[in-house]
Amino acid sequence: MARSSRSLRASTAGLEKANNAFKLKGWTQDYLAGTVGCSRQTINNFFAKRPVDKGIFQSICTELGLEWGEIAELETGEEKPIVPTTIDALVNQVREKVSADIQKRCGWMRVLDMTQPIGINDIYTDVNILEKITGRKRLEIAQLLENFNPEGFERFGLNQAIGKRVPGLEAVEQHSKLMILGKPGAGKTTFLKRIAIQCNLGNFLANYVPIFITLKDFAEEEGKLSLLQYINNQFVNNNNISEQKIIKTLLLQGRAIVLLDGLDEVKQADNDRVLKEIRDFSIQYDANHFVITCRIASKEYTFEQFTEVEVADFDDKQIAEFATKWFQTKDPKKAENFIHKLQGNQRIKELATNPLLLTLLCLLFGESTDFPLNRAELYEEGVEVLLKKWDGTRSIERDVVYHKLSLKRKEDLLSKIALETFVDGNYFFKERLVKQYISDYIQNLPDAQTDPEALLLNSKAVLKSIEAQHGLLVERARGIYSFSHLTFHEFFTARNIDSQQTFQQLVSHITDKRWREVFLLTVGMLKNSDELLLLMKQQIDRHLADDEELQQFLTWINEKSCSVETRYKPAAVRAFYFSLSLSRSLSLSRSLDLDLSRSLSRSLDLDLDLDLDLSRSLDLDLSRSLDLNFSRSLDLELKRSLQQVKDQLPNSSEGKKAFKQWWQTNGQTWTEHLRTVIIQRRNIGHDWQFSDIQKELLKQYYDANKLLVECLNSECYVSRSVRQEIEDTLLLPVS
């Protein structure tokens, strides 16, 4: 059976050389597969003398330090034309020549703390493209808020509502000149590598030759070469194509797809030259396909003939696909667990919409099979990735737009902006406002310019650099900014709360639900959270202190809980009776909120308490059935009283119709009689008749206590004495 012209296999002598070289390297087949960017099975086929894709075969030989022509087994009579007679033949010949180099440079990825590279084809998840740039749409803040819910999700999934999403490869096919913009870590480089690989394999734009250029490398090449000279040198050095007329013929015939990666990574000193080279080259060889990637807000230069689009955030389907591929070779079940845990934690899931941060989450989850308990530490690591790790791991040095603004000061500045805007409820803020915050901050730095005009220019430059270099602030519409994720807005707000004054400011929001995450993050960041937790407890107690009737209610809660013999913590029992008593008053679900008591007792199961049986019966108004369950351990007097009440019910043999008629006449009186017995004998079943204002106060008080318990049970550091003091006095009336 004839072998495909797109595949090669090793000869007997060649395989011996390959095995020797492989042993000298000391690698595993998995490592070689990751380096080449293929599956382990493909590597196994290579060493088993089975046919392997030609480009991958050549890449394997290159990684082993071998000349592929000496390793491959050529078929009898196989010849390659030296001078092609048609442009298609030329394309095919050049594609074969560049195949190994494209596979080597574009076939794999290794980011952050990955211990070994992973093949692009093994991990790649198709990206979507927004046809309209989000930051250039003219919208008002009110319009942005229409798609925004700080308590729900997707909280910042705004680009999905603003523009049409199309598959990335479809956008490249539709537009011969494309500028792809995106936030840091949005997957622009990976997408460009995917284009090169797919073209190389003949699966995309099969009649073109891929030319992949990292613009940073081009800009820093000695001799300040033209783009054409650089491409020629690349083909000579990497692909053994020495005839420049071959490359020029391809370009003149429009049979290349030129992939220019990382325009934002070009230093300012080289910027004008590189822009001119791209402009002139794309005009001179206009018939070819061109794709450029760049971070949003990095460059203000516009290429007139290029269509600008934006990489969309990952949606749920893309997140699940990426995670499944990530864990498939290591532990497929872990992928299911990862996706399940992510669905249960919306704030962490919010970060996963960014491919770079999703990679970070996969790495962390792979180490411990769960996300860190202290979310503040997780968010801090995410911020560190965006502020320095992402560029640092790729040896990219950005131009410093304001020399006095170190990374530490950038974090302090972001914390200032976050707190100021969060206090006012401004999730979106005008550019002029954020520039004013920046001006107020940088004018106090050493040797800072205080001239208003200079400060304005500097503040704009700082804003654009934070957006472009780190992606922590994002232009949501023209002149309107927000943090890239509400999670980061909350994180930087919490980061700025570290003193008595800011503690007092924070606890004033104890009943405001949108501050819940800020409380949890703050106690997790503090070296010792005693002071803040005690202030929270005091503020919660003050919430009901001025209402005598509500204080009486808390007194009854305490008395009732003390009368019950149980193995549970007193605070847990108080929480149970608190929620039980409110379930009817507040019209809440019958499952009310055993959350707080569960939090306190960890495994609260009060179904064993007779009071719960009775409360359930009362909740049903006893209109359908009554099961007072006399097998319980009741005192004799209570048994007798309950039997007397039960005896008043009509005989079940009289039928449902008779019972219904009896109930319409006697039900309310009978229920009140039962309630009186329960109140007298068990001290439950009171009808408190709270006003609407009191009900709201109690609900806020309950939620605030629940938040306090969650803070206690989080990864915060709190002294044993303070923890005990709070638990002992939880849900008690003010002394």
Q: What CATH number does residue 41 fall under?
A: 1.10.260.40
- Residue 631: the pLDDT is 35
Q: Is the pLDDT of residue 400 over 90?
A: no
Q: What angle do CA 299, 303, 307 make, to 5 degrees?
A: 100
Flag whether 691 is in a domain.
yes
Cα torsion angle, 285, 290, 295, 301, sign: positive
Handedness of CA 534, 537, 543, 546 (dihedral sign): negative
SS3 477: strand
What's the confidence (pLDDT) of residue 671?
A: 76
Within this chain, do residues 175 and 249 fall inside the same structural domain, yes or no? yes
Amino acid at 412: D
My answer on whether 281 and 367 are in the same domain is: no
Whether 659 and 602 share a structural domain: yes
Assess if residue 673 is contained within a domain: yes
Whether 357 and 343 share a structural domain: yes
List, in sequence order, every residue forming a beta bridge with 182; answer none if it has no partner. 295
101 pLDDT above the threshold of 70: yes
Whether 604 shows a pLDDT value over 70: the answer reads no
- Band (pLDDT 50/70/90 cuts) for residue 263 is very high
Most confident of 48-57, 234-243, 641-650: 48-57
Contact 701, 543 (CB under 8 A): yes
Residue 514 has what DSSP assignment?
G
Q: For residues 136 and 81, what is the distance between their CA atoms, to the nearest angstrom?
A: 52
Residue 392 banded pLDDT, cuts 50, 70, 90? low
Task: Break the chain down into helix, strand, coil percent, rounded to 5.
Answer: 60, 10, 35
- Asked if 365 and 219 sit in the same domain, the reply is no
Q: What gap in Å lies between CA 699 and CA 186, rounded to an integer?
A: 42
**Does some domain include residue 488?**
no
Structural domains in the chain (count): 4
Read off the pLDDT band of 192 (50, 70, 90): very high
73 conformational bin, left if phi > 0, alpha if psi -120 to 50, beta if neither: beta
Long-range contacts of 553-558 (CB under 8 A, 24+ apart): 553/581, 553/688, 553/698, 554/731, 554/732, 554/733, 555/733, 556/683, 556/686, 557/581, 557/731, 558/731, 558/732, 558/733
Least confident of 72-76, 130-134, 167-171, 321-325: 72-76
* 3 state DSSP class of 79: coil
Which amino acid, 256? Answer: A
- Indicate whether 374 pLDDT > 80: yes
In a domain, 137, yes or no: no
Judgement on whether residues 68 and 204 belong to the same structural domain of the protein: no
By CB atoms closer than 10 A (0-12, 13-18, 19+), residue 39 is: middle
Query: Is residue 506, in this structure, part of any structural domain at all?
Result: no
d(CA 699, CA 697): 5
Q: What is the DSSP letter of 491?
A: H
Torsion of CA 631, 635, 639, 641, to 10 degrees: -160
Q: Decide: 478 and 143 in contact? Cβ < 8 Å.
A: no
Strand 289-295 versus strand 256-261 pairing type: parallel
pLDDT digits 0-9 by tens, 134-183: 877 888 888 888 767 766 544 444 444 456 789 999 999 999 999 999 99
Residue 602 shares a structural domain with residue 553? yes
Specify the DSSP element, H or E, that contains 682.
helix 656-682
Q: Which residues contact 329 (CB under 8 A, 6 or more apart)?
A: 40, 122
The first and second tokens of residue 28, run together, are 């595993």
State whether 181 and 265 are in the same domain. Answer: yes
**Tens digits of residue pLDDT in 652-697:** 777 778 788 888 888 878 776 766 666 555 555 556 788 999 999 9
Tokens standing for residue 218: 């081009």
CA 463 distance to own-chain centroid: 23
> Would you say the pTM of this structure is higher than 0.85?
no
Tell me the residue type at 429.
F
Q: Which CATH number does the domain housing residue 168 bear?
A: 3.40.50.300
Place of tokens 């088993």: 48
Pairing, β 473-477 against β 480-483: antiparallel
Domain range spanning residue 615? 541-729
Residue 101, C-beta contacts closer than 8 angstroms, at least 6 positions apart: 238, 239
Same domain, 307 and 353: no
CB-CB contact of 16 with 63 (8 Å) = no
User: Is there a contact between 164 and 360 (Cβ–Cβ < 8 Å)?
Assistant: no
Q: Stretch 300-305: mean pLDDT, rounded?
A: 82
- Contact criterion met (CB below 8 Å) for 212 and 102: yes
Which bin fits 635, alpha (ψ -120 to 50), beta or left (φ > 0)?
beta
For residue 37, the model assigns a pLDDT of 82
Q: Are residues 184 and 300 in the same domain?
A: yes
338 touches 331 (CB < 8 A): no
Evaluate if residue 599 carries a pLDDT over 60: no
Tokens 């936030």 found at: 183
Band of pLDDT at residue 632, cut at 50, 70 and 90 = very low
Question: What's the CA gap between 48 and 12, in Å, rounded?
Answer: 10
Whether 600 maps to a domain, the answer reads: yes
Contact between 618 and 676 under an 8 Å Cβ cutoff? The reply is no
Domain boundary among the residues 259, 293, 311 is at 311
* Residue 512, phi-psi category: left (phi > 0), alpha (psi -120 to 50), beta (remainder): beta
Q: Which of 2-16, 123-137, 189-203 has the lowest mean pLDDT?
A: 2-16
Is 382 within the bounds of a domain? no
pLDDT bracket for residue 311 (50, 70, 90):
very high
Containing H/E element for 181?
strand 177-182
Asked whether the predicted pLDDT for residue 128 surpasses 50, the reply is yes
Q: Which pair of structure tokens corresponds to residue 297? A: 């807000």
Please tell me whether residues 177 and 290 are part of one structural domain. Answer: yes
Asked if residue 557 lies in contact with residue 593, where contact means CB atoms within 8 angstroms, the answer is: no
What is the Cα–Cα distance from 465 to 457, expressed in whole angstroms?
12
Q: Which residues pair with 261 in a beta bridge?
A: 214
What whole-number distance in Å separates Cα of residue 692 and Cα of residue 387?
49
Share of the chain above pLDDT 70, in %: 82
**Which pLDDT score is estimated for 254?**
93
What is the spatial distance between Cα 159 and Cα 335, in angstroms, rounded to a whole number? 27
Q: Mean of the pLDDT values across residues 448-462?
A: 82
Contact (Cβ atoms closer than 8 angstroms) between residue 177 and residue 303: yes
Mean pLDDT of all residues in 4-10: 77
What sections of 201-331 are H helices per DSSP? 215-220, 227-239, 244-252, 268-284, 316-327
Check whether residue 220 and residue 111 sit in a common domain.
yes
Strand, coil or helix: what is 37? coil
Q: How many CB atoms lie within 10 A of CB 279?
A: 15
Q: Give the residue from 373, 397, 416 where a domain finishes.
A: 373
CB under 8 Å to 724, separation ≥6 — which residues?
Answer: none
**491 falls within a domain:** no
